[in-house]
Amino acid sequence: MPKLKARIRRKLKKKREPRLIEIYETRFIETLKEFRIPLMMLHTAITVGTIGYMIISGGDFINSFYMTVITIGTIGYGEVVGGSDTLIGRIFTSFLALMGIGVFTTSVTVIVRIFFKEDIINLYRAIKMLREIENLEGHYIICGYDKTSAWLASTLKKRKIEFVVVESNPQALKYLQEHNIKYFITEEPYKRSVLLSAGIKNARGMIVNLGEDTKNIAVIVTARLIKPSREDFYIYSFASTDGTAEKLEELGANKAFIPSKLLATRVAAYIFHTGSAFISDLFDRIAFGEETDIDILELHVEPGSPLIGKKLKDIDLRRALKVTIIAIRKPDGYLDVTVSGETVIEEEDTLIIFGQPRNLKKAQKILLEETYRILG
């Protein structure tokens, strides 16, 4: 017995950090508690009335219940229960009406108020959303929702990439709903429980845009502690200066962008290519994901791949899969842009393939599947 007691005690003592969904569920249950008093008041009034009329009428339950409801509900169709038109019956009805009507109206008002209180509906929605987020895989997490994040969200939506927005400012909720953001969490993103609830374990990457370097650092560090591998989980952050960008990258960000610098570079690119605006703009738009009809794919040739040793004209991707290999990046970083049908694919090459996104996806799938099939 003492052993069992100790074991139970240990089990109960072993506390873990509550998940966000559990916190919301507890809050939801707490709100439900508010229903208890009005329901109990209503229940007591109906029970007292029904039993009272049953005693007066000699056990007629259906009519007693009906008489109670029409009395406390201020309907008052008449004295439908046997014995209710007697002296005792009328005294009982008077007392029941005096107390019951007040109880009924108060209870119904309180119940309706709790039910339509914004909290309970929002909480229910949040719980439902968190359950859906738990099933996401390969999605992105956007921390902070401002104009930049809104543009980013719209681009990801176009590419049908799932994402979860985490924003602590409750005022942003209005914009998140206006912009039809499917998944969002209105909590502080630097909390471990919040990032876990945003599905960080199954996510592909995260974009940190909280407007302040200190906040960005807090989120990046928390995220890297959960997902330490830079290859498995990409973190892109915004930074205010070059120095901060370096620090953010050292702390765990795969890449830190300086918004003003990025904008200037892009404008400069237009200035440099004024004469050949279409092509530079096309590459620009492809690179920035604005061109949804054309895309570029990088495909790494793994050791043992069936592509090794083959000439480009032999695999003829252009005809078979309607995509074109425009360049090959060699393992030493050299970019061969003069590829022809006679070019031979070597181990550890990276093929730069150009084509429509749908065909590129197909090509990637087929080529990778073929590789895995051969590698066993």
Partner 1 sequence: MRYKKIVTDFFILMALTTNISFITSPNPYELVITVATNLAATILKIGEGRVLSTEMLASSLVADLHLIPALFLFFSGDPKEAIGLAQGALAANIISVIISIIETILSAFTEEE
Number of chain positions touching partner 1 (CB under 8 A): 25
Closest CA to 97 of 26, 48, 140: 48
Is residue 131 near partner 1 by the rule CB under 8 A?
no
- Largest distance between two CA atoms of the chain: 112
Per CB under 8 A, which region of 31-39, 162-170, 222-230, 263-271 contacts partner 1? 31-39
Backbone angles phi, psi at 256, to 5 degrees: -115, 125
What phi and psi values does residue 96 have, to the nearest 5 degrees? -65, -45
Report if residue 43 touches partner 1, rule: CB under 8 A: yes
Which amino acid would we find at residue 105? T
* C-beta separation of 144 from 173 below 8 A: no
CA distance linking residue 318 with residue 302, whole number of Å: 21
Least distance in angstroms from the C-beta of 28 to partner 1 = 9
Q: Which of 19, 23, 31, 70 binds partner 1 (CB under 8 A)?
A: 31
User: Smaller CB distance to partner 1: residue 24 or 233?
Assistant: 24
288's tokens: 């920035």
Question: Mask: binding to partner 1, 10-29, rule CB under 8 A, as x and -?
Answer: --xx------------x--x
Give the nearer residue to partner 1 in terms of CB position, either 29 or 287: 29
Q: In angstroms, what is the minimal distance from the CB of 32 to partner 1?
A: 4
Cα dihedral 319, 323, 326, 331 in deg (nearest 10): -110
The piece of 53-61, 205-213, 248-256, 274-282 that touches partner 1 (CB under 8 A) is: 53-61
Q: Which of 54, 143, 253, 367 binds partner 1 (CB under 8 A)?
A: 54
Interacting residues of 172 by C-beta distance below 8 A, sequence separation 6+: 145, 186
| Token pair recorded at residue 283 | 């590459």
Q: Of the candidates 1, 3, 5, 250, which one interacts with partner 1 according to CB under 8 A? A: 5
Residues in the chain, overall count: 376
Q: Is residue 121 at the binding interface for partner 1, with CB under 8 A as the rule?
A: no
Residue (113 or 358) nearer to partner 1, CB: 113
- Which of these, 353, 44, 58, 69, lies nearest to 368 by C-alpha position? 353
**Least distance to partner 1, CB of residue 19, Å:** 15
Nearer CB in complex with partner 1: 23/251: 23
What are the structure tokens assigned to 83, written together? 């014995």
Q: Which residues pair with 353 in a beta bridge?
A: 297, 325
Taking the complex as a whole, the smallest distance from the CB of residue 72 to partner 1 amounts, in Å, to: 15
Among 1, 2, 16, 59, binds partner 1 (CB under 8 A): 59
Helix (H) or strand (E) holding 351: strand 350-355
Nearer to partner 1, 49 or 355 (CB): 49
Which of 18, 47, 115, 335 touches partner 1 (CB under 8 A)? Answer: 47
What would you report as the CA-atom Rg of the chain, rounded to the nearest whole angstrom?
33
- Closest approach, Cβ 55 to partner 1, in A, equals 8
Using DSSP's 3-state secondary structure scheme, residue 139 falls into coil
Return residues touching partner 1 (CB under 8 A).
Answer: 5, 8-9, 12-13, 26, 29-36, 39-40, 43-44, 47, 50-51, 54, 59, 61-62
